[in-house]
Amino acid sequence: MSRIKKSLRYHKGKPNLVVIHPPGTLEDYPFSIPQYRESYLDFFKLAAKNFNIFYVRNKNKYRGQGSFSEGYQFKNNVFQLYKNKIYARIIYNKTTLHANGGRDWDIVNKWNLFKITSDKFRSYQMFKKLMKPTYRIRSKSEFKKKITKITTDWAVFKPRRGGEGKGIIIGPKLSIIKRMKKFDGIIQEFIDTSDGIPKIINSYHDMRILVMNGRIVQTYIRIPKKGSYLANIARGGKIKEIKKKLVPKSILKIVKDIDNKFSKYGARIYAVDFGFEHNQPYLIEINPQPGLPYKEWKMYYNIWHSELLKTLLGAIKP
């Protein structure tokens, strides 16, 4: 494939932005969730001042060098089917696109970063000093062997990849096997967050720090619903937004150290989840594709969009 002319990545002086999601229609997730659809539309309206915006579903439409066979164009505040080839200047990767950018185009997040942050065991290998002991398992027999290394009474099983709390099992380590159907993933020691975080919350929780190019853009607490230990919004968890000044300095330092390791991957967007056990912070996991904010999250809604735009524009090299 011959090199694509840089001029094709622009139209009327504005660079082409491609937002790509997994296979589906315009009405499928995330647009099937009214709050997500509203947030995306608000962002697209904001970004339209700086970009020509295209929306693609399915990485199979990728043709290399930041180009796609077809998609939708966001024009005059509506989506229009676009059957011509699309040449991206910037790609906002919301799927598993195996691309790292090129001379005249870039991607947020690059595949080299995504494969670390989306893989819970890879993340552990890079940041094991920040996390509870974690073991890779691939079978029932390996689970039985590795569970003996867990020192806490409770254990956590997680699929190696995936989000929204899907497939996670938490419970007494001697009985957790009864609830397991698949054994390909990781097991971890349980983080007992029941004591909360001083001056912020006094119950089970996780603290999410959303980072864009090293900047902390959003900070909030996720609280599990009664009877659950999973704080994911998709699992019924609730959000409590907090101001950055309330975030413990220990967390700010850890986030800085994490981003220092990620800075070599260029423009980046990710979320880091923490749990406090007896006032000691532990890294739970890293989310490489945090969802856009809901409008009811008033503290950071507009900031989130403006910082996302800033991050995407910052990926454009002269």
Chain region(s) in the chain for CATH 3.30.470.20: 193-288
User: Is omega for the bond preceding 109 within 30 degrees of 0, making it cis?
Assistant: yes
Write out pLDDT tens, residues 126-149.
Answer: 999 999 999 999 999 998 899 999
Using pLDDT thresholds of 50, 70 and 90, give the confidence band for residue 42. very high
DSSP-based three-state secondary structure for 199: coil
Q: Average pLDDT over the chain, rounded to whole?
A: 91
Using pLDDT thresholds of 50, 70 and 90, give the confidence band for residue 17. very high
Q: What is the CATH number of domain 133-189?
A: 3.30.1490
User: Which pLDDT belongs to residue 240?
Assistant: 87
Pairing of strands 106-108, 134-137: unpaired
Using pLDDT thresholds of 50, 70 and 90, give the confidence band for residue 187. very high
Is the confidence at residue 318, as pLDDT, over 80?
no
Average pLDDT over residues 177-185: 85
pTM, entire model:
0.92
Write out pLDDT tens, residues 189-206.
Answer: 999 888 888 888 888 788
Q: What count of Cα atoms within 13 Å lies in the side-chain half-sphere of residue 264?
A: 4
Rounded-to-integer distance, Cα 74 and Cα 53, Å: 5
Write out pLDDT tens, residues 255-309.
Answer: 999 999 999 999 999 999 999 999 899 999 999 999 999 999 889 999 999 999 9
Q: Look at the block and give the residue holding tokens 């989130």.
A: 304
The mean-pLDDT minimum among 31-35, 52-56, 68-72, 165-169 falls in: 165-169
Nearest Cα neighbor of 213 from 262, 285, 274 is 262
Is the confidence at residue 164, as pLDDT, over 80?
no
Chain region(s) in the chain for CATH 3.30.1490: 133-189
Write out pLDDT tens, residues 50-101.
Answer: 999 999 999 999 999 999 999 999 999 999 999 999 999 999 999 999 999 9
Write out pLDDT tens, residues 223-267.
Answer: 876 655 455 555 456 778 999 999 999 999 999 999 999 999 999
- Is the domain covering 193-288 a CATH 3.90.400.10 domain? no
Separation of first and last alpha carbons in the chain: 24
Q: How many CB atoms lie within 10 A of CB 1?
A: 7
Quick one: how far is CA 194 from the chain centroid?
A: 25
Is the confidence at residue 5, as pLDDT, over 70?
yes
The answer to whether 204 and 154 are in contact (CB under 8 A) is: no
Q: How many CB atoms lie within 10 A of CB 60?
A: 10
